[in-house]
A and B are shown apart, each in its own frame.
Chain A
Amino acid sequence: MSPKPPTVLLVDDDALFLKALARSLSSWGFRVLTARSAESALDMTREHRPDVLVTDVVMPEKDGVWLATQVEALHPELRVLIVSGHKPETLQRFGPLPTTARFLAKPFGPARLLAEVQEMIV
């Protein structure tokens, strides 16, 4: 029996961005879940227990820093990658970034995303 593929939960308010990232990650063998808001993503972490959470920060309701902070407290085993077009120092206005979370600046290409996710799963 083949091993279960790692699950990545993608969170972004931009549907097209979610679709692009999901297509890339799926083609590399990951199981991919998507959420358009931080609140629904938090619900999905409880239900689906993903291995990696990739989240945008600036979203209409709750932001990605809030989500990453919640996840750090509730699911410390879940590895978090924060992706944003803003610099980390600019994101401090949303609160301190969890120390366990990694950061990837937008824009990035599929190869860079793959490298980051693979490093987090190893």
Chain B
Amino acid sequence: MNTALARGFRVGQPLQSLLRGYDLDSIEDDDSIIIGLDAQLNIQLLNPAWDVQAEQFGASGALQCWQLGRCILDAVSGAEGDFYRAAFVSAAHGERPWRWAYDCDDEHTRRRYLLVSYPLGQGAQLLVHSKVYEMAVDGSPAQAIRARYRQDDGVIVRCAYCARFRHPARQSLWEATAEETRDTHDVSHGICHLCASFHFG
């Protein structure tokens, strides 16, 4: 497989006009997987994080299978597929971003992921898929998150709108967290590039 051909930032024509006001460079650089969907739930945007994470999880076959034009619901089936179809359709027409956290644990590891959907208009949406945490089953999610996101100046920066944290080493990178992490007094509330575009763009 030629991953060099598959890797990269891809935006389909149906979404291009709807993304005015969004910072495409930040979307491209974001470590969260960002997927753009048209009104039929077909993929019309993929950022490079898709390829990076597919390789990390040994699923690089996805690089060929999941390209622009493919329906995202092809990845799920049964009741789960019905749930996501209803959720994505509803999210695309919402007035606010839709958030959905889910767990993917095994015997040794706890993992939490977060999906945030930003409606773009005309039934389209941007889906942001982020890992909230991955830790041993006896770990403390709150402590792990606070240690990971503390900036050099001691402050933890969190988007006041989507609740993602700013990464201390890469200031343009925002990563997801879960509702269970309460804001302590050292959390400073800012805004990430996606929420700035959505709410103030």
Contacts and interface: CB of A to CB of B under 8 A. Distances in A.
Interface residues of B, number: 22
A6 interface: no
Nearest to A90: B185
A13 B166 CA distance: 13
Interface in A73-122: 84-86, 90, 93-94, 106-107, 109-110
Interface residues on A, range: 20 to 34
Contacts of B187: 58, 85-86
Nearest to B171: A15
Contacts of A20: 191, 196, 199-200
Contacts of A14: 157, 188-191
B147 to A, nearest CB: 18
Nearest to A59: B188
A60 B155 contact: yes
A13 B155 contact: yes
B188 A16 contact: no
Nearest to B156: A58
Contacts of B191: 14, 16-17, 20, 107
B199 A16 contact: no
Contacts of B190: 12-14, 16-17
B160 A106 contact: yes
A19 interface: yes
A120 B163 CA distance: 29
B155 A86 contact: no
B161 interface: yes
26 contacts: A12-B190, A13-B190, A14-B157, A14-B188, A14-B191, A16-B191, A16-B192, A19-B196, A20-B191, A20-B199, A21-B200, A24-B200, A56-B188, A58-B155, A58-B186, A58-B188, A58-B189, A60-B155, A84-B189, A85-B158, A86-B183, A86-B189, A106-B161, A107-B160, A107-B161, A107-B195
Closest 8 CB pairs of A and B: A14-B190, A85-B189, A106-B160, A20-B200, A60-B153, A58-B188, A107-B160, A17-B191
Interface of B: 151, 153-155, 157-158, 160-161, 183, 185-193, 195-196, 199-200
